[in-house]
Structure 1
């Protein structure tokens, strides 16, 4: 388990200067291989815990790429979810102030757990960017594993 986290930390280091798409592709390859081998021994809650931790690492990486506090606030304001807007052009004051609070915080890990970042960079947004989600894909593997024909070795 710790080797998995260490490898993901290496791939999502904030100073790697690589595009998000290439990081997500590299991470997808590693995660699929690792979970293909080790997922049988992991409980569902442990898989979901690791998946949540990986999402937070990706949010941290994206937040770091926005560089300046002004740009971070601008990007977060643009990501305001539709269910908070009474009409499309309006951004609620609570959302705007939360964006500024997050933008001027210095700890990337802390900010990646803020609700404004979690709603702005939601699972749907991360999936659209190309992130690989563990629980839904592992469940598919388990469903198909039952029906594989077993060949005996003679």
Structure 2
């Protein structure tokens, strides 16, 4: 499962975030049809954490230039000094994706608002029906 998600969240796959989310949602919904009888919600929570970090990594790479990163972080409510400090960071994409600044700028609600379907909420929905 993670291998296919890695392909759909590859940094090399240059598609719009809307298209990527659409493809990921199709994949998650399909797997939930298969896993709905499972009784391991903790695994889905861990998978969701990893999944959101992959998405933050992609967005960070899409922003490319430090100036764009500062602008986007400011737009998402990060203080100017922190936005500048993190935008100029030369750390790897994966490491930045776990940073407190990026996790605060792109919280779980941000991804829900973008329409991303996550494993745990989808599993919970199947359990109530």
Q: Same fold (TM over 0.5)?
A: yes
1:98 pairs with 2:82: yes
Unaligned segments of structure 2, at least 5 residues = none
CA contact (8 A) 1:76 1:120 kept: yes
Tell me if structure 1 keeps the 8 A contact 2:29–2:122: no
SS, match of residue 37 in structure 2: helix
Shift of 1:115: 1.2
Aligned to 2:123: 138
Which one of the candidate residues 100, 109, 115 is aligned to 1:115?
100
Q: What is the CA distance between 1:66 and its match in structure 2? A: 0.5
- Choose the corresponding residue for 2:75, options 72, 75, 78: 78
d(CA) in 1 for partners of 2:36 and 2:128?
A: 13
Query: Structure 1 residues 42 and 111, CA, compared in 2 at 3 Å: closer, same or farther?
Result: farther
CA distance in 1, matches of 2:70, 2:2: 29
Asked whether the equivalents of residues 76 and 99 of structure 1 are also in contact (C-alpha less than 8 Å), the reply is: yes
* Aligned residue number for residue 26 of structure 2: 29
Question: 1:38 — aligned with what?
Answer: 35
User: What is the number of equivalent residue pairs in this alignment?
Assistant: 128
| Structure with the greater alpha carbon radius of gyration | 1
Length-normalised TM-score, structure 2: 0.90
Task: Provide the secondary structure at the position in 2 that maps to 1:16.
Answer: coil
Distance in structure 2 (CA, Å) of the matches to 1:36 and 1:102:
40
SS at match of 1:13: coil
Alignment equivalent of 2:54, drawn from 38, 51, 57: 57
> Shift of the alpha carbon at 1:40?
2.9
Q: CA RMSD in A?
A: 1.6
Shift of 1:42: 5.2
1:41 Cα deviation (Å)? 3.2
Per the normalisation by structure 1, the TM-score is 0.76
